Chains A and B, each alone.
Chain A
Amino acid sequence: GQNIDQPTEMTATEGAIVQINCTYQTSGFNGLFWYQQHAGEAPTFLSYNVLDGLEEKGRFSSFLSRSKGYSYLLLKELQMKDSASYLCAVRDSGAGSYQLTFGKGTKLSVIP
């Protein structure tokens, strides 16, 4: 099975940098996704890490350490529109497994 932990809520200031952590304990691991979900809307893809290290994409970066079961999403130059929930999701490595296991999400509030 999979167990994924993320902070429930975070608050940060417009223009600042925020790091959202995700830890996981899994029976198998084959990659980690980050999705953004605005209230009442569908999740949208942000990043995918399968190897250790940092993946950078504009204002958003994601880091993975497989040995530590740890990932973070880094958001730079925060904007008000970044207020949303951020979901960490782990991809299982088991044969015939088609599940993504999502964390409960971190609700980020960006304040002026």
Chain B
Amino acid sequence: GAGVSQSPRYKVAKRGQDVALRCDPISGHVSLFWYQQALGQGPEFLTYFQNEAQLDKSGLPSDRFFAERPEGSVSTLKIQRTQQEDSAVYLCASSPRKGTRDEQYFGPGTRLTVT
């Protein structure tokens, strides 16, 4: 079956622009996670959704970052007024049940470059 998909795969933004990154999780998966991965680093947690509810957004680095999952399936991560330090790969992952006890299925990521 289809895995997690993300779009766009690559995004170049000028500093100050807004960007929107999309995640299509595996159908029926309850949990959805967003991570930020800098070059040579492990993924860092940004936010967690259980269905449409955003239960943890403690990893969002600033109020320029906003995520939503209005119908409990597709999710969008929005970054306003992008800065150079936002350049990273943004990974989305989904898992079948609530919380973190299941393996997470990762999408291929969106590589954001802010110039």
Contact = CB atoms under 8 A, between A and B. Distances in A.
Interface of A: 4, 30-31, 33, 41-45, 48, 87, 89, 91-92, 96-105
Interface in B31-71: 31, 33, 35, 40-45, 48, 50, 55-56, 58-59
B42 A104 contact: yes
A104 B43 CA distance: 8
A45 B100 CA distance: 13
B16 to A, nearest CB: 28
Contacts of B43: 43, 87, 102
Contacts, number: 60
Contacts of A100: 33, 45, 100, 104
Contacts of B50: 98
13 contacts: A30-B100, A43-B91, A43-B106, A45-B104, A91-B101, A96-B55, A98-B50, A99-B59, A100-B45, A100-B100, A101-B45, A102-B35, A105-B40
